[in-house]
Amino acid sequence: MLRLSRRLEMIAEDVPAGSRLADIGSDHALLPSYLAGQGKIVLAIAGEVNHGPFEAASKQVNESGLGSIIEVRLGDGLDVVAPGEVDVVTIAGMGGALIAAILDRGREKLGAVKRLILQPNVGEAIVRGWLLEHGWMLISERILEEDGKIYEILTAVPQAETTVTGEELYSPFTLPGGAVADRELLLKMGPYFVIEASPAWVTKWERELDKLSRVCGQLEQSSLEASQEKLAALREEMKRIGEVLECTQKAKP
C-alpha cells in the first residue's frame, strides 16, 4: 500500500469522498494515487509544469494500475483543467504567492470547484488574503510539524456554501489577557489558529520571533533612515505577535 508523509495524509483527509480532484504540482502523483487506491475519488488530474516530475508522476500512475482514474497532464497551474472538470483542487508545497497567482490566473476554472485545499510553505497570509478577496471562505486550518518543518493546511469553500462571512471570520476581537487580534494579525497568524493555539502553531511563531529578532540585530548596525524605519516596524510586529502568544497561553487551563 502506498504510504504518504503525514503532511499529505492530512491533505488527503480533507478531500471529500467521491471527489473529482485536480492536484496541481502533483510531485509523483502520490496524493491522487493514494486517494484513488483508497477508493475516495472518482477521477483525478495530476498537473505538472516540468517534464521531469511529469514523467515521474506518469510512471507512478502506470505502475500502480490507476490510469483509469488518474490522468497526468503537463501544463502550468490550472491550465491542465477544463472548466467544470473537477470539484476539488489541491495545491501543496509551494510558496503562498505562487499558490495565489495560480488561483488568480485560473479563476475561470474554479466555477464548479467546491473545495480548495492549500498547503503553502511560506506566505500563508497571502493565501488567506486571496481567498478572502475572491469569495472563498476559509473553513479549516490545520498545522503539523514534520521532519523539523512546520506546515499549514488551509481548506476553503465558496462563500455561497457557508453562512459565515469572511468579514465575520476576520472581525477583530480581544483575547483573554487584553491583546487585540485585528484583521491584519488574523490574516497573518490564522483566525482558527489564534483561537486553538496548538503547540505546533506556538512553536511556529516562537521561531518566527527568533528570526525577526536576528533581522532586528542586523538593522541595528545601520544608521540609514530606511533601516531604522524597518527596525521600528519589525519591533512593533514582534510586540504584537508576542502579546498574542502570551495571551493564548494564559487562556489555556
> pLDDT digit string (tens) for 75-124?
999 999 999 999 999 999 999 999 999 999 999 999 999 999 999 999 99
Share of the chain above pLDDT 70, in %: 98
Q: Which residue type occupies 175?
A: L
Of 82, 92, 65, give the one whose Cα is nearest residue 7.
92
Q: Tell me: the pLDDT tens digits for 147-192?
A: 999 999 999 999 999 999 999 999 999 998 888 999 999 999 999 9
**Apex 72 CA angle, 113 and 25, nearest 5:** 65
Q: Is 28 helix (H, G, I), strand (E, B) or coil?
A: coil
pLDDT of amino acid 35: 97
Q: Is 216 helix (H, G, I), strand (E, B) or coil?
A: helix
Please give the mean pLDDT across all residues of the chain.
95
Secondary structure letter of residue 161 according to DSSP: G
Q: Is the pLDDT of residue 11 over 70?
A: yes
Q: Tell me: the pLDDT tens digits for 28-53?
A: 999 999 999 999 999 999 999 999 99
Is residue 91 within 8 A of residue 102, CB to CB? The reply is: yes
More confident residue, 137 or 1: 137
**Rounded to whole angstroms, what are the CA distances from 91 to 48, 219, 227?**
11, 35, 36
Share of the chain above pLDDT 90, in %: 92
Is residue 231 within 8 A of residue 216, CB to CB? The reply is: yes
Mean pLDDT, range 16-23, rounded to an integer = 98
Distance in angstroms between the alpha carbons of the first and the last residue of the chain: 41
Give the integer Cα–Cα distance in Å for 167 and 151.
25
pLDDT of amino acid 12: 98
Question: Can you give the pTM of this predicted structure?
Answer: 0.95
pLDDT of amino acid 3: 87
Give the integer Cα–Cα distance in Å for 162 and 178.
30
**Apex 61 CA angle, 89 and 105, nearest 5:** 30
Query: Which cell numbers in the block locate residue 60?
Result: 507512478
Q: Is the pLDDT of residue 251 over 70?
A: no
Residues 6+ apart with CB under 8 A from 56: 27, 28
Q: Which domains does the chain have, with CATH numbers?
A: 6-169 (3.40.50.150), 173-251 (1.10.287)
